[in-house]
Chains A and B, each alone.
Chain A
Amino acid sequence: EVQLVESGGDLVQPGGSLKLSCAASGFSFSSYEMNWVRQAPGKGLEWVSYIASSGSGIYYADSVKGRFTISRDSAKNSLYLQMNSLRAEDTAIYYCARNLITGGTYPAAFDYWGQGTLVTVSS
Chain B
Amino acid sequence: DIVMTQSPDSLAVSLGERATINCKSSQTVLYSSSNKNYLAWYRQKSGQPPKLLIYWASTRESGVPDRFSGSGSGTDFTLTISSVQAEDVAVYYCQQYYSSPPTFGQGTKVEIK
Interface residues in chain A, defined as those with a beta carbon under 8 Å from any beta carbon in chain B: 44-47, 50, 59, 61-62, 95, 100, 106-116
- For window 57-102 of chain B, which residues contact chain A by CB distance below 8 Å? 61, 93, 95, 97, 100-102
Q: A109-B52, A109-B95, A113-B50 are in contact. Are A45 and B100 (CB under 8 A)?
A: no
Asked if residues B52 and A110 are in contact (CB atoms below 8 Å), the reply is: yes
A111 interface neighbour in B38, B61, B103, Cβ under 8 Å: B61
Q: A100-B55, A111-B52, A111-B61 are in contact. Are A44 and B95 (CB under 8 A)?
A: no
8 additional A-B pairs beyond A45-B42, A45-B104, A106-B100, beta carbons within 8 Å, are: A45-B44, A47-B102, A100-B55, A107-B97, A109-B40, A109-B55, A111-B52, A115-B48
Q: How far is the CB of A108 from chain B (nearest CB, A)?
A: 4
Asked if residues A47 and B103 are in contact (CB atoms below 8 Å), the reply is: yes
B106 within 8 A of A: yes
Determine the main DSSP class of B at the interface with A. loop
Q: A107-B97, A107-B102 are in contact. Are A45 and B50 (CB under 8 A)?
A: yes
A44 interface neighbour in B55, B97, B107, Cβ under 8 Å: B107
- Chain A hits for B104, CB < 8 A: 44-47
Asked if residues A108 and B51 are in contact (CB atoms below 8 Å), the reply is: no
- Chain B hits for A44, CB < 8 A: 93, 104-107
Q: How far is the CB of B55 from chain A (nearest CB, A)?
A: 5
A61 to B97 alpha-carbon distance, docked (Å): 14
- Chain B hits for A108, CB < 8 A: 38, 97, 102
- Chain B hits for A107, CB < 8 A: 97, 100-102
